[in-house]
Amino acid sequence: MALICGALLLAATACGGGGGSDAGAGDAKAGDSTKSASKQSQAVVTIAPKNGAKAVDTSGALKVTAAKGKLTEVKVEDAKGTEVAGSITGEGATWTPASHLAAATTYKVHAVAKDSAGLTSAEESSFTTLTPKNTFIGNFRPEDGSTVGVGMPFSIRFTRGITHPADVEKAITIKTEPAVDVRGHWFGNDRLDFRPENYWQAGTKVTVRLNLDGVEGRPGVYGKQAKTVSFTIGRSQVSTVDAKSHKMVVKRDGKVLKTLPVTTGKPGYDTWNGQMVISERLVVTRMNGETVGYGGEYDIKDVPHAQRLTDSGTFIHGNYWGGGAFGNYNASHGCVGLRDVRGGYDKSVPASWFYNNSMIGDVVVVKNSNDRTVAPDNGLNGWNMPWDEWIK
């Protein structure tokens, strides 16, 4: 009997010992949990707009902030993996994008912050920007891939009047090789031209990025254009027309290439003075006085070798009807005329030679005319505006 009782007591002791061991294990787990909790980062990351948001504004809505810590990494990208540039400011408190977002686009945000103990906290979000009901684009010159003369600005006309010009201009970036300072100037609310202070250096490569997709150009009207345009500046050609001596001196890369006899605007129809850029080239065209306010004074259906200098209708062109005017007196209605033959077939005449040795963007300077200087926005002629006024 005593032996049985002893055995029972031993079993009870063994059970008690086992229970004590379990309690110890429970205490150890609780201690580990407290230790783990103490290692959780105190930094709090907040992303606006909220996860899953729709129809988000393309400007001003995206912002990432950190409380009780500092942002160390923010990555925002669209569905194609294209990242949105931005910067962390306020000593790690805030991240904002460098520019607007594209319209109708889904973005993913990943942000990391670190607290004072060096522990990190992360947050992720996704949202979709608005789909605009009204849009605009910019029609630009010169064309992508073209080679142009040293006077060619990058000129863009918008299909809607712009009331937020600073936002639109910020979305257009221009890089050149070699580097040169290029600035934009608005003519009205629908045209923006870019140029350097002086004519381009021959051989300059120009790259323009039109990041207009999502830019709010006017209330409720957004750009829908994302395009890169590249062009090259060719050789330097500047031709000077003297309305008094009736001659034009053509200089190529600073050296006189040819001197040609011309006729300019007769009294009452004087040619503009100033620097004018060739903006259009036509082997043959019709010139009708009614289109430029001269009624039915002339209507010539086959004007050869015509190169446009102003939007208002000034050309430098071939003239087969001028008789002895070239080099002697002014007989035109405002254009610069060069001797030519009807049909423009003779390549030896001055008009043909000049046409075949010119390109879009070449400069034609007129001096000693009795008219005023051409307006900077009449054609691609912003060179007639002083630089300090251009950059205002």
pLDDT digits (tens, 9 = 90+) for 220-229: 999 999 999 9
pLDDT exceeds cutoff 50 at 61: yes
The per-residue pLDDT for 307 is 98
User: In what order do the strands lie in the sheet containing 94-97?
Assistant: 44-48, 63-67, 94-97, 86-89
Give the residue range(s) of CATH 2.60.40.3780 domains in the chain.
Answer: 44-129
Q: Measuring CA to CA, which residue among 71, 103, 98 is closest to residue 83?
A: 98
pLDDT at 38: 56
Query: Rounded to an integer, what distance in angstroms lies between the CA atom of residue 268 and that of residue 281?
Result: 27
Distances (CA, A) of 27 to 19, 38, 148: 13, 17, 82
Helix (H) or strand (E) holding 11: helix 2-37
Is pLDDT of 130 > 90?
yes
Can you point out the beta strands (E) in 324-386? 336-339, 363-367
Tell me the per-residue pLDDT of 354-376, one tens digit each, with 9 for 90 and over.
999 999 999 999 999 999 999 99
Match 């379990």 to its residue by tokens.
Answer: 22
CATH of domain 237-390: 2.40.440.10
CA dihedral 155, 160, 166, 170 (to 10 degrees): -60
**Catalytic residue, candidates 100, 246, 333, 335:** 335
Q: Where in the chain is the domain with CATH 2.60.40.3710?
A: 134-233
Q: Please state, as a whole number, how many other Cβ atoms lie within 10 Å of the Cβ of residue 123.
A: 18
The CATH number given to 44-129 is: 2.60.40.3780
Output the CA torsion 320→322→328→333 (10° steps). -120
Q: Which member of 100, 185, 305, 317 is catalytic?
A: 317
- Mean pLDDT of the residues in the chain: 91
Q: Which two tokens stand for residue 250?
A: 């053509």
Catalytic residue at 335? Answer: yes
- Say which amino acid occupies 10: L
pTM summary value: 0.86
Longest alpha-carbon distance in the chain: 151
Q: How far apart are CA 84 and CA 90, in angstroms?
A: 19
All CATH 2.40.440.10 domain ranges of the chain, comma separated, are 237-390
Fold for domain 134-233? Answer: Immunoglobulin-like (2.60.40)
Residue 9, pLDDT > 70, answer no
What is the rounded average pLDDT of the residues 87-105?
A: 97
Between 29 and 88, name the one with better pLDDT: 88
